[in-house]
Structure 1
Amino acid sequence: MSASITGGCLCGAVRFRLDHAPVAARACWCRDCQYLSGGNASVSAIFRKAGLTVTGRPRRHEGRADSGTAMRRHFCGRCGTPLFSEASDAPDHLAVRAGALDDPALARPGSTIWTASAPPWGLVDPALPRHERQVAAVPGAP
């Protein structure tokens, strides 16, 4: 891929650039992602961490995912936009929130995870592979 992929937060205080295409994308219905997305599934594109450039100073929140994995979630400290997440068991990858990408079409999900946590009204795309819990998007990725 020759063009860079760019994104950032709502207020413009944090911007990022990646020099390669995502390796996967998926929708996640875990409770953490429901909090991050305002109640819906969170859609993320999975990228190799190498080639990431960030301008501005994102804040981060560290915790454990429902899977037990230690997570580091980055967001804008000014406007609160969720930007990306890093999982301790996938140190070479990061999950970039579709809404933070300048072109969110790049994050078209290829699967849905944590469907067991979706509320009864949650819309889970029937055309995508579904997983009740966590599965790796790519070997070694969150």
Structure 2
Amino acid sequence: MGENRARHTGGCLCGAVRYEAEGDPLFAGYCYCADCRKASGSGFIPFIGFASTAVRFSGETRQFRSKSFRGGEAVRNFCPVCGGLVFGGEVGKDESHTIYAGSLDDPSSFHPKMAIFTRDRPAWALLPPDFTAFDTMPE
């Protein structure tokens, strides 16, 4: 990874799972879908997307798979020690990975601009007024 590019690091609560991503994210926002709400125990999951070539992971993860909106599988990776949700996607298979922004070492590097699955947003989960909102997944 180059020295002059932005670097994003983070990991789970106990530190057993870590990642390093280089460059600017492809996208960043909030997901209000029912699966993300249940996985996070919150009203939404803040996420950042990176190309798989821009991110490296270390440590062993466990995976939870569920049916995705487009019919494939959604893969969520979490730490088997502390249970911390860290990233989405299958390493070595997917072209991009979704990092869960709550796992960032420096949360100030998260700059969300969009909201997805707003049709599923509970009334008590606020939607920032300057976000681009999508009822489901954008094309």
Whole-Å separation in 1 of the counterparts to 2:57 and 2:76: 14
Q: CA RMSD in A?
A: 1.8
Given candidates 28, 33, 41, the residue that maps to 2:31 is 28
Structure 2: any 5+ residue segments left out of the alignment?
none
Q: Is the CA contact 2:113–2:130 (under 8 Å) kept in the aligned structure 1?
A: no
Aligned partner of 1:125: which letter?
P
Q: Could you tell me whether the CA contact under 8 Å between 2:118 and 2:136 is conserved in 1?
A: yes
**Gap regions ≥5 residues in structure 1:** 137-142
Query: Which amino acid in 2 is paired with 1:124?
Result: L
Are 1:86 and 2:89 matched, yes or no? yes
Distance 1:66 1:51 in 2: 25
Deviation of 1:3 after TM superposition, in Å, equals 4.7
Q: Write the deviation string for residues 61-83 of structure 1: whole angstroms up to 9, x where unpaired.
A: 11212443311111111111111
Call closer, same or farther: CA 1:134–1:106 in 2, change over 3 Å: same
Q: How far, CA to CA, are the matches of 1:67 and 1:31 in structure 2?
A: 15
8 Å CA contact 2:118–2:134 kept in 1: the answer is yes
Within the candidate set 50, 56, 61, 1:58 is matched to 61
How many correspondences in the alignment? 134
Partner of 1:4: 7
Give the corresponding residue for 1:101.
104
Provide the TM-score with structure 2 as the length reference: 0.87
Q: Could you tell me which residue of structure 2 aligns to residue 139 of structure 1?
A: none
Give the TM-score, by structure 1 length. Answer: 0.85
Which is worse superposed, 115-124 or 60-69?
Answer: 60-69
Distance 2:85 2:131 in 1: 24
